[in-house]
Amino acid sequence: MNSQTKRTVVVTGGTGGIGLQSALGIARTGDRVVITGRDRARGAASRQRIIDETGNPDVALVIGDLSSVAGIDALARTLLEQLERIDVLVNNAGYLGSERQDSDDGVEMHFAVNVLAPWRLTHALLPALRAAGSARVLNVTGGDKPAAVDVDNLQAEKGFKGLMTYTHSKSALESMSMALAGALEPEGITVNVVFPGRASTAMTRSLTLSGLPGMMKLMLPFFRLFFAEDGGKSAAKAAASTIWGATSRDLDGVTGRYFDTSTAERQLHPTALDPQVQAKILAVIESAAPTPRG
């Protein structure tokens, strides 16, 4: 895709897990890669690892926190100061918590990081995305196969259920992504969803008993075995769909689609495509702060 011109690819949450493996794969194509993360020491180590393993020196680190509107806006300002153009934005950063927590803006944290942050960051970075001419946005989902969005439970109003709250927030992300695709299509910016599949990462290994609802608590030993540290092998495998989504010419001009871990196009749950569902998700986002209009 970049045989003539080196592209700039931003990967949020690119300092560990699937994000880091995605950044490694993208860097191997020769593209300029910018990873974001919250921890400077971890980020610096990840940046150096990408350079060392790929031989691509054009790797940058930007520190930022996507858990609040102020943090999102600060990260966007820093990126815009450093980058004239962004050819690909990979909204990879995610959150999985075992206890109910609200952001500084009063938004349930899963919704704040997994839904609000990708929407707001993408809009805030529109000047750089427009400058690319034909930019693409990839939103990385999670959980399981596409499932229904319950608009009356977007912020765990029916009870916090840890892993299930996380999974539902990813369903909301998928619906939001379809709304975002429609909003940005006139700009020539594509938006698609990729599903990496399950992997052992710091996030999945953080799952505790309190993060599992009901009878799922009995499955904790299985989860711990399934997500045991494997040196990044499962994360590298899971990153394949993101790497493909960021680099393949097959996605030129393609928008509003969902691709599974094998990069096959699949259908989203009908609720993700429902304009009324999308409107209710966007209403929650707007209640935190008006969307920036770059």
**Per-residue pLDDT reduced to its tens digit, 141-153:** 998 889 999 999 9
Tokens of 225: 């075995």
Question: Could you count the other beta carbons within 10 Å of the beta carbon of residue 252?
Answer: 10
Q: Cα 9 to chain center, whole Å?
A: 13
Residues paired with residue 137 on neighbouring β-strands, in sequence order = 89, 191
Give the residue from 261, 285, 286, 280 showing the smallest Cα distance to 149. Answer: 280
Q: DSSP state, 102?
A: B
Give catalytic residue positions. 166
pTM of the model: 0.91
Residue 143 has a pLDDT of: 81
- Whether 2 has a pLDDT exceeding 80, the answer reads no
Non-local (6+) Cβ contacts of 40 within 8 A are 61, 63
CB 108 within 8 A of CB 156: yes
Weakest-pLDDT range from 19-33, 104-118, 198-212, 246-260: 198-212
- Whether 219 has a pLDDT exceeding 80, the answer reads no
* C-alpha dihedral sign at 121, 122, 126, 128: positive
Q: What is the mean pLDDT of residues 273-294?
A: 94
Domains in the chain, CATH or no CATH each: 8-286 (3.40.50.720)
DSSP result, 216-244: GGGGHHHHHHHT---TTHHHHHHTHHHHH
Q: What is the mean pLDDT of residues 83-94?
A: 97
DSSP result, 17-76: HHHHHHHHHHHTTT-EEEEEES-HHHHHHHHHHHHHHH----EEEEE---SSHHHHHHHH
Q: What is the mean pLDDT of the chain?
A: 91
Q: Which amino acid is at 282?
A: L
Cα distance between residue 84 and residue 275, in whole Å: 34
Collapsing DSSP to helix, strand or coil, 92 comes out as coil
- Whether 126 has a pLDDT exceeding 60, the answer reads yes
Cα distance between residue 10 and residue 17, in whole Å: 16
Q: What is the mean pLDDT of residues 95-113?
A: 95
Residue 292 has a pLDDT of: 87
